[in-house]
Structure 1
Amino acid sequence: MNPETHVLLLDVDGVLVTPPEWFGARLLREHPQQTRDFFQTAFVSASTGQSDLKDHLPAFLKALGRDQTPGDFLAEWLASEHHPNPDLLPLVRALRMRGWRTFLATNQEAWRTAHLLDVVGLGEVVDGHHASYAVGHRKPDPAYYAEVTRRLNVAPTQIVFWDDSEQNVQAAQAAGWQAHLYTSPADFQQVMGLD
């Protein structure tokens, strides 16, 4: 693969960021129904750019019985997932030094995307992002892959994509991308020719 003609897209959760426990998983364990409702409605709206996540938090916090401000709740959420993958990031940096244009390809709303880039430090290893809130669609919707391909202005076959979701990988392959299931930094290193 020629880095001058190919683009690298990377999922975030489970790939570039690997916390010991997801904040949403903890909420789901503690408040299953309220958390499911939130992530199936409000979060989908925010992560497709239709609304601001913070506008949904007062009602969610009330449903959870939490006495927190939306800002404090969001800060707790973001801090709990501040775990960049220490073994993968150097490999991504090495690819960029070889000339790869690299972007985040993640189902994400605006607040966490900014946090990932500016605070977690992913902005130092990528050229930009194609977060779902900015694209207007979420993986594995075919519209997500079509719109990202259009924005990159390259042939689908020139896009190399890594995700830890088999469903997202299969949808990307159906869109013509060179998509790989992420399992480990070692596998990534081998496939990307960094051995």
Structure 2
Amino acid sequence: MRPEAVIFDIGNVLIEWQPERFYDAEIGEDRRRAMFDTVDLHGMNDKVDMGHHFTRTIYATAEDYPEFRDEIRMWHDRWIELARPEIPRSVRLLRALRAKGVPVFSLTNFGVESFDFALTHYPFLDEFDRKYISGHMKVTKPDPEIYRMVEEDCGIAPRNLLFADDRADNIAAAQVRGWQTHLFTGPDGWADCLVSHGLLTEEEAA
């Protein structure tokens, strides 16, 4: 069935999100491993994605772990260096779909303030027909509620939504709702998927 709308995750679909890579380059792998073993940095980020304030959440965590205070603050102060670079072909696919008149939405675990900051570096994040940002919704993937909220807001039947995400648990939750899905492992496979669904030609997906 040809989808009526396409939904993009953002992290590792449109923009690379590799905090460990950033810290390995900045402080070395050994210290990075020690910090991540001691501090639940991804849990901290989950709070931001749930709508907790970006600055206050990260700075409070930094004060709880003075031995890693400066490094934890980098998650905030140098955040754009954790969230880069963009994935050019994915951005081209987003724009190709919109050029064809296909409704394109985002569905992303992203904080309120951090998303606003990302917009200043990645203007294409403002090109979606609808933006579903977990920080505003106060719920994150793969909670079934976030998928239900998308369905209710857009008014499109689940079977007519095509969703790309890099995490298998997020994909599995969408499949339970009846969404069409694609587990993103790179833009080439995503392009092939869009072509196979009749949304783009091979030339348009190049």
TM range (shorter): 0.7 to 0.9
The answer to whether the aligner puts 1:7 opposite 2:5 as a matched pair is: yes
Aligned to 1:53: 54
Which has a greater percent of helix?
Answer: 2
Is the Cα–Cα contact under 8 Å of residues 22 and 82 in structure 2 kept in the other structure?
no
Taking structure 1 as the reference length, the TM-score comes to: 0.83
The answer to whether the aligner puts 1:32 opposite 2:30 as a matched pair is: no
Give 1:192 shift: 0.9
Structure 1 portions without partners, runs of 5+: none
Paired letter, 1:56: T
CA distance in 2: counterparts of 1:130 and 1:154, whole angstroms:
14
CA distance in 2: counterparts of 1:179 and 1:60, whole angstroms:
35
Report the CA distance shift for 1:67/1:190 in structure 2 as closer, same or farther (over 3 A): closer
Give 1:85 shift: 0.3
Percent identical among aligned pairs is 25
Paired letter, 2:69: R
Aligned to 1:118: 120
Give 1:13 shift: 1.3
Q: How does 1:1-195 map to 2 (within 5 A)?
A: 6-18=4-16, 21-22=18-19, 26=23, 29-36=33-40, 38-40=41-43, 42-49=44-51, 51-62=52-63, 63=65, 64-67=67-70, 74-193=76-195, 194=200, 195=202
Is the Cα–Cα contact under 8 Å of residues 164 and 184 in structure 2 kept in the other structure?
yes
Is the Cα–Cα contact under 8 Å of residues 139 and 146 in structure 2 kept in the other structure?
yes
CA distance in 1: counterparts of 2:176 and 2:112, whole angstroms:
27
CA distance in 2: counterparts of 1:95 and 1:35, whole angstroms:
41
CA-to-aligned-CA distance 1:95-115 (integer Å, 9 cap, x gap): 100012212211111122112
- Count of matched residue positions in the alignment of Structure 1 and Structure 2: 188
Give 1:124 shift: 4.7
CA distance in 1: counterparts of 2:137 and 2:91, whole angstroms:
24
Report the CA distance shift for 1:170/1:73 in structure 2 as closer, same or farther (over 3 A): closer
Report the aligned-residue RMSD.
Answer: 2.6
CA distance in 1: counterparts of 2:117 and 2:33, whole angstroms:
25
